[in-house]
Structure 1
Amino acid sequence: MRVDDRYPRSSEPLARHAIMRTGDVEEARHVVTEVYVPHELDSLGGRPLDARLNVVASPKLTLGYLVYGADATLTLPPLRHCYHVNLTLTGTTTATRRGGQDRVVTSGLRNGVVLLPSEDSTVSWTPEATQYVMKFPRGPLEEHLGGLLGHPVGATIDFDVTMDLTTGPGARLLSAVRFLQAEIDRPDGLLDAPLAREQVESYVLTALLLGVPHSYSDELARTSGRDQPTVVRRTMDFVEDHVDEVLSVSRLARAAGVTARTLQISFARHIGMSPSAYVRDVRLARVHADLESGCPEDVSVTGRALHWGFANMGRFSDHYRRKYGELPSATLRRR
């Protein structure tokens, strides 16, 4: 697969894993088909693309950063062996399923779309659209759901066509995917730690199953209430609602109704990080979203960092760079 050096994008997500830089519609269709699923690709008026794909794959999921750089439409038959999830980062897309019965317009950092194994679909991109594009093989995802439910899944997971990425479980899904991407991009990150990577990928699968309503959601909610620690769910919801306030471990523990020690143990066991690290991760995601959507003339890195609770700019920049692979000023300049 050819990488065209005329299109360097070193600050993009997964930039070290670029497999496509092309202006040719047929080449873009061929590469994306090889990585994801067979489809037809058309650009408006046959115009050339500025298509780019950076991607990393494992048996559980394929995570890619995809851009077409032009008005482009993909027509997909039923996917058969996988679920396909797009989380829109910039620009807009329009997606349909079931012959047009399901239709959604996605916009940057607000929502995304799920395409099903059993249904045909189309996705139209604007030139500004960039997305996390993920493929989840049916076997691992349905087995993961079965493990959460305590019994095998006997039918296709009928996901809603879209999800809200701005709050609650949908926001946690976006944060989980960003965390996976940032760790893959980080030197000495998850690519060098297969067991840790598998755990984070499992967390992404769980975040997807909790972040997008589907045909098993009611049962999963009942099961989660029995088998997953209420303290973790309650704390995560509290953080989402109060992330712009002072959130000490003692305050989080009071909100969850447990001791600070119990809270720390629960987060380490079920989330793989401390409560403080989780709060920082959510706040970093909020700063990142503000910088990605902000105008350099109107937005300052310091102002956004202070707004989301970072008082030490040196430590903030260090955490930001480790999570997103670039300085916050670089994110703002790319706007």
Structure 2
Amino acid sequence: MMVETLSFESASVDATQEFLSTAYTPMRIAKSVADARASISRRAVNGLTVDRISFGYDLTYDADSLGRVCLLSMHTGTLADRTGGRETVFGPGETFLVAPPDAPYRGEVHSARYTIAMFDSSLLDAFAPTGANGRGPVRLTGLRAVDEAADRQLGAAVAYVRDHVLDNPAACANDLLVATAAQHLAAATLAALPHTARTDSAPADRTDATSTTLRKAIAYIETNAEREITLADIAAAAFVTPRALQYAFRRHLDTTPLAYLRRVRLDAAHRDLLAADPGTTTVTEVAMRWGFAHPGHFAGLYRDAYRRPPSDTLRLHL
């Protein structure tokens, strides 16, 4: 899998405007600045993109639509969104949607350092493919998370993709890991931000949440856990909507389809650790094989499930 990288540093506002218009979307930047330093670095793989950006000045922008979901985690400075004539200010520690994927946006960044994560908006439909009463694709309807806890979770999802997937060459080379990371970010986005499918659902969804639906879904998950499967794939295999699938897992197992998929993959990693030669295999290799990019997170999940660290299981052969 090819990893796209780029870096940009400049003290020219004109050069920065040209670069941003090429890398993101056509935009116009106010040019009356005293300190024109700008720094941008990017890593992208298979449609998943993370940029680290720093501006030493106040940057006013007026931009066309991005065509993708664009999440911004603010580290220092502020961003004032002025789309539609109203101003909304975001500060350090917040993670938010820059703009709806299909809408132009405008505002100002004030001497800021931040992370941007972008992914294809079609991933949202894999988790909530119907909007109000099942009449269309899900639409994000607000920029800010629904509460502080949701904001923290969304920021953690962006940081995870940045630090443990796209900054890790071995993870970037693993199709399952990259696909799982993109799905994780899409799911976190829907969990955190207002959207059209948050409260609306078709009546048939609850009716279809049967034990038969659950059995079909479990059979599909256990047969295909090593593949890049989505919530939509599992729902299609059970012949129901993703919302009905989610209801079925919550009603009968008090969990979610993707949490169940993660547990199946964890069990597979456990079996691999039991069978592995500790002289030629590492815990990290096994974890990444089953879609776990963060070693510490994998170790925590493993200890919760098996009451010992994964390294102890691997050393059973010694």
Q: Secondary structure at the match of 2:199?
A: helix
Could you tell me how far apart the structure 2 residues matched to 1:155 and 1:148 are?
5
2:18 aligned with 1:30? yes
2:27 aligned with 1:39? yes
- 1:146-185 to 2 correspondences below 5 Å: 146=128, 154-155=136-137, 157-163=139-145, 166-167=148-149, 169-184=150-165
Could you tell me how far apart the structure 2 residues matched to 1:56 and 1:137 are?
15
| Unmatched segments (≥5 aa) in structure 2 | 207-242, 268-289, 302-318
Q: Secondary structure at the match of 1:216?
A: coil
- 1:67-216 to 2 correspondences below 5 Å: 67-79=54-66, 81-97=67-83, 99-101=84-86, 103-127=87-111, 129-138=112-121, 140-146=122-128, 154-155=136-137, 157-163=139-145, 166-167=148-149, 169-184=150-165, 186-216=167-197
Taking a change above 3 Å as real, the CA distance of residues 161 and 279 of structure 1, as seen in their structure-2 partners, is farther
Report if the CA contact (8 A) 1:183-1:189 is conserved.
Answer: no
Could you tell me how far apart the structure 2 residues matched to 1:273 and 1:59 are?
16
Instruction: Look at both structures and tell me which one has the larger radius of gyration over its CA atoms.
Output: 2
Could you tell me how far apart the structure 2 residues matched to 1:22 and 1:226 are?
51
Taking a change above 3 Å as real, the CA distance of residues 231 and 172 of structure 1, as seen in their structure-2 partners, is farther
Q: Secondary structure at the match of 1:19?
A: strand
Report if the CA contact (8 A) 2:140-2:196 is conserved.
Answer: yes
- 1:249-264 to 2 correspondences below 5 Å: none
Please, what TM-score do these two structures have when normalized by structure 2? 0.60
Q: Give identity over the alignment, percent.
A: 14
Report if the CA contact (8 A) 1:111-1:166 is conserved.
Answer: no
The ranges of structure 1 where at least 4 consecutive aligned residues each deviate by more than 4 angstroms after the TM superposition are: 146-149, 185-188, 227-233, 269-274, 278-281
Q: Deviations over 1:51-108 (max 9, x none)?
A: 11111223433221111111111111344x33332221222111122x224x321111
Q: Deviations over 1:150-169 (max 9, x none)?
A: x98735613302226841x3
1:55 aligned residue: 42
